[in-house]
Structure formats: structure tokens, C-alpha cells
């Protein structure tokens, strides 16, 4: 960025000088050649040339503001990298991307720089891999900063219809929150700084579906992170557990709530109170926590395939369907049914509903435009 900024500013500075010189030459030509009668004593030449130069620089200065903004915006579009081509302070840009994701909506997460996660795009699907293999992808503040940033960008990217979240390697999705980072925390700081709030805010407000592909351990915060997603697929060796009680704490991001909804009170209570009762992939599937099990080597590929299928549908319908299903956790049945009915009725205002039904009647595939 700094390099690009310097380049842009140098070009504009030279442009200013050139513009000033051109005006000075024009002034000289006017008083000395075109209209010498105006300057009979020759005494106006120097002041007029100087004034013309100053005016030229001033005019180019005003133009600079406009051109500079335009040029830098163009650089963002071309390089698709606002952290390093747009803003002089990459950390500031990252903070801004987190608090104001819409500012970076033209950018894709696939081109951003991360160290604790890896991202890529496969067709219309954004893929995020938690990447701390030596710590079994333990979840720390910096990892969540990157994860939230990537998710916000995928949510803003209109070419992305769904996201797959997985862990690097085959041993772990995530072995929980980073115990070494957490061990010295205290109540007052946790409370006043809202520990965990920032971690979970972005994933909670995602409009697009997220599929968790759980390849190995999903323990503590890892299990909770998987449950924050909309669908969980498991590799054959996946293990789900809430071992927090063994550390003198309890689950803090859904382990006592979402788990109960997913597998019922008895199993959830056993897992949370003993910390040692874990679910294998098969048990998790039987209990309803996991939608399907795949061989470990094809897990992510299969998850991406299903995410691509979801991404190929009308995005307004997919997002409303997600909202309606999630409402079942929050609302009494009668309110949930009313909410569902309103969304159902509203979808008849979309072009995709017309297209979907016309395509069925004409025996062809629908071409959704997400409008
Ligand atoms: N935090 C930090 N480091 C970890 C974690 C963790 N949660 N889990 C594993 N590691 C590290 C180990 O310290 C070890 O590092 P090193 O090589 O430097 O010593 C490395 O990963 C490999 O681990 P092990 O040698 O222990 O590997 P094993 O195969 O012997 O055991 C286990 C694997 C069973 C997963 C074991 O590592 C373990 O029990 N880990 C801790 C699991 C746990 O207690 N998780 C819950 C943490 S508390 C929590 O998650 C609170 C949730 C808060 C909300 C979060 C919101 C999203």
C-alpha cells in the first residue's frame, strides 16, 4: 500500500508541477506574443507568469483530490487488496473491515492476507480453514479476528452463496478455545471487555449459510463453533465434546444451549457435566447433531459440493429459509408459523420466484438472478 500510495502521490505531484508550468508558459505566450499591446512596458510579464504558475498548481491541487480518490479506488478494484493498496495503515483497515464490513464489500476474502486461517473460493462457495495445526486449531483472539473478517467479506460478496468452515489437517476441527491464552484472564476484564462477544458476533449475523466440515476433534469452543454453523458434516473420525468442566469452567458459547436443542437434555447434560462423555461421528449423527458422515478424505469436497448446490438456488430464498429455521429456536410455534408465512408470501415479490415456477412449467432449469 505504502508503495502504491507513494506512486500515486508522486504522479500527482509531478502532474501539479507540469500543470503549473503549462499555465506559466501559457501566461507568458499570452502577454509576450499574442497580446503584447497589453504589456507595453514589459513589466507585467514576470508577475503574470508567476500568477499563472500558482493558479495552475492550485487548480491541479483541487483536481488531485478527485483523481487521487478515483485512482486509489481503481487500485483496490484491480488489486482487490484494500489492506495493502488502499489504506496507509493495514491494521486500521482490518479494524474497519471488522466494524464496517460494507466498506470492503468489493473485496473478496480469498485475496486477503491471513496467518491463522486459510481462505479460498470454489465456484460460488467461500472456504475457510482454521489453520493452527500445531495447537489443533485452538481458537484464539487473533484467529477469530481473521475468521470474522473473512466471514464478513464472504457475506458481502455477491458472488458467494454459501461458506464451508473446516480445520486444517485431519486431527482437529478445533480443540476448543486456546487454554494458554485464556488461563490468566480475570472476571472484570472478561466482563468489561465482553470476552467472547466479539468472537461470535459475526457468525451470528451471517446471512449466508455456513457448513461446518468437522474432520477431527470438535471440543469445547470447537464444538460450539460447529454448532453456530447451519449444517454440520462430520468425517468418520470426528469427536464432539464439551470438556470445559475439567478446566473449572463451563461452555461459554452455546454448549449448554444449542447442544440441548440438537441432542436433547439427557445427552447434553452428561457431556457438559462429566466433560468426558464425547460423541463419535456416528453417535452425533444418530443424535441429530450431524447431518451426514463422509470419509475423511472426501469430507471437505462433499461439503463444498452441497454448499455449491445451496449457492445455486435463489439467494433471497436461501437466506429467508435460514432465517425461518433459526426462528424456530427463538419463537413459540404460533409466532414462528406466522413469521414463516410472511416470508413465504414475501418471496412472491422476487424475480426468482417467477423464474423458478416458470422454469418448472417449461420443463427447464431455472436461471436465478438473486433478485
Ligand atoms: N488450547 C491450547 N492448546 C491446545 C488446545 C487448547 N484448547 N488443545 C490442544 N492444544 C495444544 C496442546 O497444548 C499441544 O501443544 P504442544 O505440542 O505445544 O504441547 C498440541 O495442541 C497437541 O495437543 P496434545 O499433545 O494434547 O494432543 P493429544 O492428541 O494428546 O490430545 C486433545 C488431543 C484430547 C484434543 C487434547 O489436546 C485436549 O484435551 N485439548 C484440550 C481440549 C479442551 O479442553 N477444550 C476446551 C477448551 S475451553 C473452551 O473451549 C471454552 C470455550 C469458550 C467459547 C469459545 C467460542 C467459540
pLDDT above 90 (res 84): no
Ligand 1 neighbours by CB, cut-off 6 Å: 135-136, 138-139, 175-180, 196, 199, 217, 219-221, 224-225, 243-244, 247, 252-253
Pocket-testing residue among 132, 133, 135, 136, ligand 1, by greatest number of atoms within 8 A of Cβ? 136
pLDDT in tens, 107-161: 567 667 899 999 999 999 999 999 999 999 999 999 999 999 999 999 999 999 9
Q: What is the pLDDT of residue 182?
A: 96
**Residue 92: its pLDDT value, please?**
53
Q: Which of 136, 206, 215, 141 is nearest to 175 (CA)?
A: 136
CA distance 209 to 204: 11
Q: Ligand 1 centre from 177 Cα, in Å? A: 8
Contacts (Cβ under 8 Å, ≥6 apart) of 72: 4, 5, 8, 85, 86
pLDDT value for 59 = 72
The pLDDT, as a whole number, for residue 33 is 74
287 among known catalytic residues: no
Most confident of 59-73, 83-97, 126-140: 126-140
Whether the pLDDT of residue 203 is over 60: the answer is: yes
pLDDT band at 323 (very low <50, low <70, confident <90, very high): very high
Residue 139 CA to ligand 1 center (angstroms) comes to 9
Q: What percent of the chain has pLDDT over 90?
A: 69
Contacts of 347 (CB under 8 A, 6+ apart): 316, 317, 320, 353
- Residue 205: pLDDT above 80? yes
**Residue of 47, 14, 41 whose CA lies nearest to 28:** 47
Domains plus CATH for the chain? 2-78 (no CATH), 110-311 (3.90.226.10), 315-361 (1.10.12.10)
Average pLDDT over residues 78-95: 46
| Cα–Cα distance for residue pair 287/303, rounded to 1 Å | 20
Q: What is the predicted pLDDT for the residue at 287?
A: 97
Q: How far apart are CA 365 and CA 360, in angstroms?
A: 7
Higher pLDDT, 102 or 41: 41
Q: Is 244 in the active site?
A: yes
User: What number is the average pLDDT over the span 57-81?
Assistant: 58
Is the model more confident about 286 or about 15? 286
pLDDT of residue 105: 47
pLDDT for residue 22: 80
The sheet that has 292-294: what strands, in order across it? 117-122, 125-130, 162-167, 210-214, 231-235, 292-294
| Bigger pLDDT: 1 vs 38 | 38
Choose the catalytic residue: 177, 238, 284, 307.
Answer: 177
Identify the active-site residue in 129, 244, 285, 302.
244
Q: Catalytic site residue 224?
A: yes
CA distance 53 to 65: 19
In this predicted model, what pLDDT tens digit does every residue of 270-319 receive, in sequence order? 999 999 999 999 999 999 999 999 999 999 999 999 999 999 999 999 99
- Rounded to an integer, the average pLDDT of 173-190 is 97
CA-to-CA dists, residue 136 to 161, 172, 179, angstroms? 29, 5, 12
The fraction of the chain above a pLDDT of 70, given in percent, is 78
> Which of 179, 212, 240, 242, when mutated, tests ligand 1's pocket best, judged by the most ligand atoms within 8 Å of its CB?
179
Question: Going by CA atoms, what residue is nearest to atom 8 of ligand 1?
Answer: 175
pLDDT at 82 over 80: no
Q: Of ligand 1's atoms, which has the minimum distance to the CA of residue 228?
A: 57
Whether the pLDDT of residue 80 is over 60: the answer is no
**What is the pTM for the complete model shown?**
0.76
pLDDT digits (tens, 9 = 90+) for 325-343: 999 999 999 999 999 999 9
Pick the residue whose CA is nearest to atom 20 on ligand 1. Answer: 135
Query: Is the pLDDT score of 248 beyond 80?
Result: yes
Q: Alpha helices of the chain — where are they, by DSSP H?
A: 2-29, 45-79, 82-85, 90-99, 141-156, 179-182, 187-193, 197-204, 221-228, 258-263, 265-274, 281-287, 299-311, 315-330, 333-346, 351-361
Decide if pLDDT at 219 tops 50: yes
Across all residues in the chain, what is the average pLDDT?
86
CB within 8 Å of 301: residues ≥ 6 apart: none
| Residue range 342-353, pLDDT digits in tens | 999 999 999 999
Amino acid at each position: 500500500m505504502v508503495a502504491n500510495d507513494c506512486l500515486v502521490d508522486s504522479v500527482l505531484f509531478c502532474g501539479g508541477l507540469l500543470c503549473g508550468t503549462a499555465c506559466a508558459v501559457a501566461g507568458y505566450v499570452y502577454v509576450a506574443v499574442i497580446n503584447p499591446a497589453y504589456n507595453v512596458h514589459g513589466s507585467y510579464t514576470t508577475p503574470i507568469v508567476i500568477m499563472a504558475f500558482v493558479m495552475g498548481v492550485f487548480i491541479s491541487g483541487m483536481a488531485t483530490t478527485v483523481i487521487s480518490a478515483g485512482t486509489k479506488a481503481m487500485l483496490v478494484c484491480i488489486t482487490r487488496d484494500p489492506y495493502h493498496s488502499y489504506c496507509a495503515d493495514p491494521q486500521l483497515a482490518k479494524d474497519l473491515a471488522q466494524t464496517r464490513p460494507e466498506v470492503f464489500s468489493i473485496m473478496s476474502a480469498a485475496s486477503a492476507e491471513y496467518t491463522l486461517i486459510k481462505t479460498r473460493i470454489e465456484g460460488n462457495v467461500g472456504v475457510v480453514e482454521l489453520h493452527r495445526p500445531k495447537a489443533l486449531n485452538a481458537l484464539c483472539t487473533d484467529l477469530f479476528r481473521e475468521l470474522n473478517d473473512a466471514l464478513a467479506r464472504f457475506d458481502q460478496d455477491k458472488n458467494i452463496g454459501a461458506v464451508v468452515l473446516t480445520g486444517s489437517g485431519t486431527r482437529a476441527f478445533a480443540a476448543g478455545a486456546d487454554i494458554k491464552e485464556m488461563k490468566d484472564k480475570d472476571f472484570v476484564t472478561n466482563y468489561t471487555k465482553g470476552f467472547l462477544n466479539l468472537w461470535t458476533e459475526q457468525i451470528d449475523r451471517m446471512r449466508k449459510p455456513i457448513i461446518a466440515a468437522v474432520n477431527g476433534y470438535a471440543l469445547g469452543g470447537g464444538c460450539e463453533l460447529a454448532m453456530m454453523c447451519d449444517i454440520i458434516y462430520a468425517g468418520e473420525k470426528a469427536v464432539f465434546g464439551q470438556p470445559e468442566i475439567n478446566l473449572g469452567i463451563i461452555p461459554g458459547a452455546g454448549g449448554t444451549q444449542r447442544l440441548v436443542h440438537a441432542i436433547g437434555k439427557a445427552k447434553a447434560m452428561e457431556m457438559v457435566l462429566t466433560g468426558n462423555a464425547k460423541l463419535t461421528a456416528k453417535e452425533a449423527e444418530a443424535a441429530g447433531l450431524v447431518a451426514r458422515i463422509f470419509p475423511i478424505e472426501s469430507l471437505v469436497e462433499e461439503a463444498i459440493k452441497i454448499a455449491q448446490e445451496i449457492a445455486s438456488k435463489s439467494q433471497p430464498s436461501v437466506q429467508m429459509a435460514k432465517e425461518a429455521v433459526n426462528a424456530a429456536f427463538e419463537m413459540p410455534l404460533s409466532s414462528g408459523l406466522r413469521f414463516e408465512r410472511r416470508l413465504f408470501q414475501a418471496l412472491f415479490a422476487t424475480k426468482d420466484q417467477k423464474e423458478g415456477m416458470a422454469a418448472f412449467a417449461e420443463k427447464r432449469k431455472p436461471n436465478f438472478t438473486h433478485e
